[in-house]
A and B are shown apart, each in its own frame.
Chain A
């Protein structure tokens, strides 16, 4: 699970061009779409959907599922684990 979270952070930093962030800067429970967390926006949400398919083969087709899944690194990792189970 920890490896999955590390990988997720690396992919997010790379795909979203978060130039100033390191893996260690992102807390597992930090809110991805809050300015108090990572501060992502709606275009980033689309990038995350693409990222999920590209790296994990998971298609996020239900917007309600995405809202919950993309809250934090923890929720993203849980979502990937559940979908792969």
Chain B
């Protein structure tokens, strides 16, 4: 599966900023979402009802279509860990405080599949429309779905992931004694993936694997590489997330230490913050690095944001 376009809206200057990977630094705790001019992408009539996650997702998806010069994708597939939190919170607050009729908008838009639905409505798409919500592996499952659809003859699929921060998450984090260094953020990364390579292709997704209730992470990585006839020494860059390896801690997880010293190793959660589908950002980061540096040919993304889940994604440059 080839990546034809990529777009990310996040707390970093990622949107419409090819080459962003060269300049971004680890996020500071007081970072804020960098908001593009949504009105350039979304009709005012639709925009007024949209929460943050919907605005980010529709804009990033439309940006992908624009980059690829495609009017209608063959399908729209979205992964989200927590879905439309802003509308869910609003609806539940209404539910608890209003006696009588409840306002319908936040209820309608509180469901996870609103994201893919709103993308579809905003472009008038009648194709396959699917939402995957599998905690921190939501995006990987969306990608697997996209790969299967491409195999069935569908083409030029919009696949992406989004999650949004609301203040309640910090309050819950405090109750759960989450370290204050952990940045809870919002982000949306979308891609247009195609079956065949074209002049617009940016990179190739060679393989994706998910492991739920992972027991031996090193063995899972070894097996994944073996299935792709790769040695650890052939991986040019390892992008990983580890909730417990927060910035400046000086700790690096065991499964990372086993990689060849020549491999560049980076915890992408330090760059983008914590949200359940942040592995989608890692793919965009990998694509951006591959575009910028022709020595990077093979990138392994290890999603271990939630330690019971493991997501493995292999990205290759077009020359690999």
- Which residues does A use to contact B, with CB under 8 Å? 15-20, 39, 41, 43, 46-47, 49-50, 53-54, 59
Q: Chain B residues near A20: list those with CB within 8 A.
A: 44, 48
| Cβ-closest chain B residue relative to A42 | B104
Number of B positions contacting A (CB below 8 A) = 13
Q: Which of B45, B100, B104 interacts with A46 by CB under 8 Å?
A: B104
Q: Chain B residues near A50: list those with CB within 8 A.
A: 100-104
* Contact across chains for A53 and B103 when beta carbons are under 8 A apart: no
B179 CB within 8 Å of chain A: no
Q: List 21 A-B contacts (CB under 8 A).
A: A15-B103, A16-B48, A17-B49, A18-B48, A19-B48, A20-B48, A41-B45, A43-B49, A43-B108, A46-B103, A47-B103, A47-B104, A47-B105, A49-B101, A50-B100, A50-B102, A50-B103, A50-B104, A53-B100, A54-B100, A59-B100
CA distance in complex: A50, B98 (Å): 10
Q: Chain A residues near B49: list those with CB within 8 A.
A: 17, 43
A10 CB to closest chain B CB, in angstroms?
A: 16
Q: Chain A residues near B45: list those with CB within 8 A.
A: 39, 41
- Which residues does B use to contact A, with CB under 8 Å? 44-45, 47-49, 98, 100-105, 108
Q: Chain B residues near A46: list those with CB within 8 A.
A: 103-104
Q: Chain A residues near B104: list those with CB within 8 A.
A: 43, 46-47, 50
CA distance in complex: A19, B50 (Å): 12
B53 CB to closest chain A CB, in angstroms?
A: 16
A5 CB to closest chain B CB, in angstroms?
A: 22
* Contact across chains for A53 and B101 when beta carbons are under 8 A apart: yes
| Cβ-closest chain B residue relative to A20 | B44
CA distance in complex: A49, B103 (Å): 9
CA distance in complex: A47, B108 (Å): 12
* Contact across chains for B105 and A43 when beta carbons are under 8 A apart: yes
| Cβ-closest chain A residue relative to B44 | A20
CA distance in complex: A5, B26 (Å): 52
Q: Chain B residues near A39: list those with CB within 8 A.
A: 45
